[in-house]
Amino acid sequence: MRALCVSIHDVAPPTLAACKVIAAAVREVDASIPLTLLVVPRYHGEAAVPVEYADWITERMGSGDELALHGYTHQDDSPAPQRWTDAIRRSVYTAGEGEFSALTCEEAARRIERGRRWFAERGWPVRGFVAPAWLVSPGTWDALQKFDFLYTTTLSRFHVLERGVSLRAPAVVYSTRNVWRRWASRGWNAALMRAAHTMPLVRVGFHPADAEYPHIMIHALKLVQRFLRTREALTKSAFARSVG
């Protein structure tokens, strides 16, 4: 089986309006596409959970979407890196949001546990963990072994944790921070689509900022349409369970 997983990253009260726009746009393409919502419990330290936000999450789950734990605050507050390569990875590449990029096992486990409790308090099931910016420190990999998550993902791979299986699964995502990144993203993703033709899974990940750029949304949604011609749209948990 060849599959397509469509997700919305950085789902939180401050990004709710943009997430609604993206979800509605995907529904216009095909109302049967289930979304994986990457939820941040305390996005940038924000603790409030407005009723409108909670109701929307519940509504989305009722329509077939699933939730994944996407960090805890989505902010990289670890000590400054010593190597210039790490500095680029944690600041330029991620704009300082790679929360789990440098955490120890103990700290990663603490944040994951707090996130899981936050979900449990609301009665929201969560079977997957996705680190912000897909940056996973060695300590975070160790911490994940302490929990019963079904899967996690990195930029280019899908990891079925319960079975110890790792599959190449490219992610179509867009960088919107400046004009050249937006144009480069479109070209790169078009090429990625062609290269991923035979792979079992392709992922399309939307970020709230994508909703501000109509040409980005149009490009991404056209790719979703093309993928649907030859792939079945699944949540990430559903795909993980299908892996033999």
**Mean pLDDT in residue range 182-191:** 66
Q: How many domains does the chain have?
A: 1
pLDDT above 60 for 124? yes
On the question of pLDDT at 75 being above 90, the answer is no
pTM above 0.95, yes or no: no
What crossing angle do the helices spanning 16-29 and 214-228 adopt, rounded to 10°? 40
**DSSP symbols for 63-116:** TT-EEEE--SS----SPPPSSHHHHIIIIITTTT--TTSS--HHHHHHHHHHHH
Q: What is the pLDDT of residue 84?
A: 44
Per-residue pLDDT, 174:
87
The parent domain of residue 200 ranges over: 3-242
Cα distance between residue 143 and residue 104, in whole Å: 8
Q: Which is more confident, 34 or 189?
A: 34
pLDDT in tens, 189-233: 767 777 777 899 999 999 999 999 999 999 999 999 999 999 999
CATH of the domain at 56: 3.20.20.370
The model's confidence at residue 188, banded by pLDDT at 50, 70 and 90, is: low
Beta-strand (E) ranges in the chain? Answer: 3-11, 35-39, 66-69, 128-129, 151-153, 157-160, 165-168, 171-172, 201-206, 232-233
For residue range 1-32, list pLDDT tens digits in order. Answer: 799 999 999 999 999 999 999 999 999 999 99
